[in-house]
A = this chain, B = another copy of it.
């Protein structure tokens, strides 16, 4: 018997499509229903064999599903859950792949009717590409997936979602939603804010002089790759994880100001220590 009888995926792109592919490949899902707003993408998903059928109506789409996976922008998840909650089958489990958790888990838990269960999740995986044509079965292999149970999370529901991600090849980590949001603010959201600011700063300096960016070499391009990320997605993340993002931006600012004063004071020994400390931490995560 497969782990999931009927899986409803809302948002059949890179994240949703890749989960569908791996569960199908492993024989751990009966039927897969795709739900989305773009019919062309959903038709392509059927053609590619990623989903069995589709609907653009989320309320209809979740009917009879024992597991619902939301892979839509973070700002849309709670309102979608509000819309479809009453259409969930008894015993249905709803989980998501949003990269912010507290602002999703709190409302979604409250919105669950009796006998339906919400489990917050965040698979730490992705590529620069999007759409179902970018999805592939091994996206989650060897990656981490953070699940964020709370005091009111159902144990059996958590177990099933954990099993699903383990089948997909991920190492599952359990974490409090608030802690999750701080961790990702540090290792992902802050770097994005820094990269976007850096590119704009260099480009802004550029305009006052002549085109500086054209002298940039591979190092600059690698360093700023994440500044090519989707602006709407990052707007939503910064809106939803505002407090943790602000906290980390301020935290970064203190370190940047410390380095600035070392440079200003020509404190060579201090700078070398600062750089060595950083190199040591960076080399340790290689």
Contact = CB atoms under 8 A, between A and B. Distances in A.
Interface in A192-210: 193-206, 209
Interface of A: 124-125, 143-144, 146, 173, 179, 182-184, 186-188, 190-191, 193-206, 209, 212-217, 219-229, 231-232, 234-236, 238-239, 242, 245-246, 248-256, 258-260, 262-264, 266, 268, 271-272, 274-279, 281-286
Given A196-B274, A200-B255, 16 more contacts: A188-B219, A190-B198, A196-B275, A198-B255, A199-B278, A216-B285, A222-B225, A222-B226, A223-B225, A227-B279, A234-B271, A235-B272, A238-B262, A246-B263, A249-B256, A250-B260
B252 A201 contact: yes
Contacts of A173: 215
A256 B194 contact: yes
A14 to B, nearest CB: 15
A238 B179 CA distance: 36
Nearest to A256: B197
**Nearest 8 pairs between A and B by C-beta?**
A231-B275, A201-B255, A203-B281, A196-B278, A227-B282, A197-B256, A199-B278, A201-B252
Nearest to A265: B242
Contact of A281 (B199, B239, B260, B262): B199
B187 A217 contact: yes
A182 B215 CA distance: 12
A155 to B, nearest CB: 24
Contact of A263 (B144, B228, B245, B262): B245
B274 A200 contact: yes
Nearest to A213: B285
A286 to B, nearest CB: 7
5 contacts: A191-B220, A213-B284, A221-B285, A238-B262, A253-B256
Contacts of A249: 256, 259-260, 263
